[in-house]
Structure 1
Amino acid sequence: MSNPNWFSWYSFPFFAPLSGAVTQDIETNVGARLDQDVAKKMSVTERFDTLSDAVKELDEKLGTLAKALGQTPLHETFGQKSGQTTPMRRLKTMIDTVNKIKDRHRQDADLEAKRALNDLKTVDPARYSEFIREYERRL
């Protein structure tokens, strides 16, 4: 036989102790794990709101300081000559976009709650009255 593996036909599987198959879950993307852990603590919207509020507050304080020193606030001067938008203006656009989306979701939730209450009132007026009393007590 010219096949160098001819003996494999006659051999039986032999595994030394602890030499069997090993399955190990290795996650190479540490950033993904970090994102998941952070997302458990705080949503993307909460993080965005916190960061945008902090930047706006910082901008207001720096603007007040600049005006007190007789200077033009930075967010008013960046990009004026070249026609570019400033990071503060882009942030304001982002904040406005997020606020519009939040408003739309609030309106949808409000309509859904009204529909559910109207359905409950139609189906079970006694339970509707009880629900309203419970809700008013919580306020």
Structure 2
Amino acid sequence: MAQGPLSYSWLSFPFYAPLSGSVTQDLSNHLYQGVPEIEVAVITEAGSFGSQLGALTKVVLELAERVVPGYDETKAETLGALKANPEDASEAKTPLEQLIVLDALVDEIKKRHRQAAERDARRALEQLKRFDEKRYASFVKSLNR
């Protein structure tokens, strides 16, 4: 069997099984209804969807605290149930309970990411100190300015 540049077998062609190729998801603003230029301006100038939703969530929960009878008990029970069994987070019954759970989950995710960033920074600083104490001292001094 010849092994030249013109000899091919069916194995030499790229073959992709279903869902095995590159998978990308377009999260750009043109997926949303509205004027794309305005959507981009809102996201870049006013704030991300997450920051907008976060502000709305905080306002709704603050209003609920002032207006809804028994809000503190509802919040305590909902968060207690969430801590006891995090897998049941989707089982919140009322929209208020769902919002309380979502807010708590978002806060937990943010906390984990802050802790990871702090841990990474601490490791990097310890490594810099081991490799070059003068640069470490200079860097730490620059942080205190």
Shorter-chain TM-score bucket reads: 0.5 to 0.7
SS of match in other structure, 2:93 = coil
- Partner deviation per Cα, 1:93-122 (whole Å, 9 max, x = no partner): 111111111011011101110111011111
Aligned to 1:112: 120
| Alpha-carbon spacing, 1:29–1:43, altered in 2? closer, same or farther (3 Å) | closer
Among 32, 36, 42, the residue aligned to 1:38:
42
TM-score normalised per structure 1: 0.59
- Partner deviation per Cα, 1:23-46 (whole Å, 9 max, x = no partner): xxxx89653614322221212331
Structure 2 Cα separation of the partners of residues 28 and 36 of structure 1: 12
TM-score normalised per structure 2: 0.57
Moved more, 41-50 or 52-61: 41-50
| Alpha-carbon spacing, 1:93–1:84, altered in 2? closer, same or farther (3 Å) | closer
SS of match in other structure, 2:34 = helix
Pair member with larger Rg? 1
| Offset of residue 89 of structure 1 | 0.3
Asked whether the equivalents of residues 129 and 136 of structure 2 are also in contact (C-alpha less than 8 Å), the reply is: yes
Within 5 Å, give how 1:1-139 maps onto structure 2.
31=34, 33=36, 34-41=38-45, 42-63=47-68, 85-137=93-145
| Alpha-carbon spacing, 1:108–1:86, altered in 2? closer, same or farther (3 Å) | same
Which structure 2 segments of 5+ residues have no match? 1-29, 75-90
Higher RCO by CA contacts (8 Å cutoff, separation 6 or greater):
2
Which structure 1 segments of 5+ residues have no match? 1-26, 67-71, 77-82
Aligned residues with identical type, % of pairs:
31
| Alpha-carbon spacing, 1:62–1:28, altered in 2? closer, same or farther (3 Å) | closer
How many corresponding residue pairs? 97
- Partner deviation per Cα, 1:46-105 (whole Å, 9 max, x = no partner): 112211110011112213xx5xxxxx66x96xxxxxx97111100011111111110110
| RMSD of Structure 2 on Structure 1 (CA) | 2.8
